[in-house]
């Protein structure tokens, strides 16, 4: 099943009011989101308002939320707030995080997964 909505040609994302309405019609075991940046305090950030709204809808309607964010997201600071570490259950990334950020994850009971890369 695919959500209805507007197709963004540059990356194939389906966004907009119809996508949000579709996503809001389901309750899922797992919700998977991506973001554009993570602040040092664990705030989850994005550039696009419709992406923020879609991510919030997925978070609200999922029993377990998995955040996919590669290491570059830790150095980007978009202005739009999706939420915080308390909104996710698992962070899947490609490199170890700082000890300070790991402490934030632990404080919010977020499980850290470091993805293996093929060389």
Query: Model's pTM, two decimal places?
Result: 0.88
Would the CA dihedral through 117, 68, 79, 20 be positive or negative? Answer: positive
Six-digit token string for 55: 């991510």
Residue 119, pLDDT score: 63
Reported as a single tens digit per residue, the pLDDT across 11-33 is 777 777 887 888 888 899 999 99
Q: How far is CA 42 from the centre of its chain?
A: 12
Give long-range contacts, CB 8 A cutoff, 24+ apart: 97-104.
100/40, 101/40, 101/42, 101/74, 104/41, 104/42
């Amino acid at each position: 099943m695919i959500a209805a909505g507007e197709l963004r040609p540059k990356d194939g994302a389906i966004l907009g009011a119809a996508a949000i309405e579709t996503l809001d019609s389901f309750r899922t075991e797992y919700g998977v989101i991506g973001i554009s940046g993570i602040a040092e305090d664990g705030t989850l950030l994005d550039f696009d308002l419709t992406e923020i709204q879609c991510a919030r809808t997925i978070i609200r309607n999922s029993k377990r939320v998995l955040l996919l964010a590669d290491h570059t997201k830790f150095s980007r600071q978009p202005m739009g707030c999706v939420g915080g570490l308390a909104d996710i259950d698992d962070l899947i990334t490609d490199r170890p995080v700082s000890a300070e950020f790991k402490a934030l994850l632990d404080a919010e009971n977020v499980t850290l997964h470091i993805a293996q890369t093929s060389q």
